[in-house]
Amino acid sequence: MSSDQKRSKPIKNRKPKKKKKKKKKKRDPNLPKRPRNAYFLFAADMRPTLHKTGMRMAEINRELGRLWNELPDERKEGYQEQSEVNKKRYAEEMKEYRKNNPQPLKESSSDSSSSLSEDTIQYLKMQQKKKKRRERKKKREYMRRMREKKRKMKKKKKHRRSSSTHRRSKHKKKRDSSSESSVGYYSSSSSSSSETSFSSSD
């Protein structure tokens, strides 16, 4: 097949691969909600008043931070006490929830390792060693490339310096030769003019 025939073939439009979205775990409705800290309790009280002003969410958050910093310690202590009460309530609710919904115990790593045979354990160890060797080899290769790169850069710099000095010397020689030629020209012209003046006087 010729190159023209190859080019004439229509290219298929490849669809981009869609990323698989991770499925969120469904939250248990009986699970108690985590308690809010002092700042979030203050924000919950102040947010509806700031919403009425027509401010954006980012501006509201900035304003809430500023108001919290300017808030006196007495009022802050009230919110902190309220948050501590909520924490205690949450801890009690969690105890009750765990009693009613006991979680299944996970298998420990020691149990899983004991279930494996000796051959599989040796094979896994060999694989780990091979992986470490590959990583070391990659590291050595990278370091070698970096050294070569540095050497090339040094050579380039030296070549540039030598070429620049060579150009300067050439330029100097040209200037010297041009100055010498100009001096010779002026001396010859002066001698010719003196000869003509002498002949005319005769």
Contact 42, 79 (CB under 8 A): yes
Burial 96-125 (b: 16+ CB within 10 A, else e): eeeeeeeeeeeeeeeeeeeeeeeeeeeeee
What local confidence, expressed as pLDDT, does residue 87 receive? 92
CB atoms < 10 A from the CB of 43, how many?
A: 19
Q: Is residue 190 part of a domain?
A: no
Q: Is residue 155 part of a domain?
A: yes
Q: Is residue 11 part of a domain?
A: no
CA distance 170 to 162: 12
Q: Is residue 76 part of a domain?
A: yes
Q: Is residue 45 part of a domain?
A: yes
The domain containing residue 66 runs over which residues? 30-101
More confident residue, 171 or 9: 171
Q: Is residue 79 part of a domain?
A: yes
Contacts of 47 (CB under 8 A, 6+ apart): 60, 64
Please tell me the total count of domains within the chain. 2
Q: Is residue 22 part of a domain?
A: no
pTM: 0.41
Q: How far is CA 101 from the centre of its chain?
A: 44
- Which tens digit of pLDDT belongs to each residue from 111-161? 444 556 777 888 888 888 888 999 999 999 999 999 998 888 888 887 777
Q: Is residue 201 part of a domain?
A: no
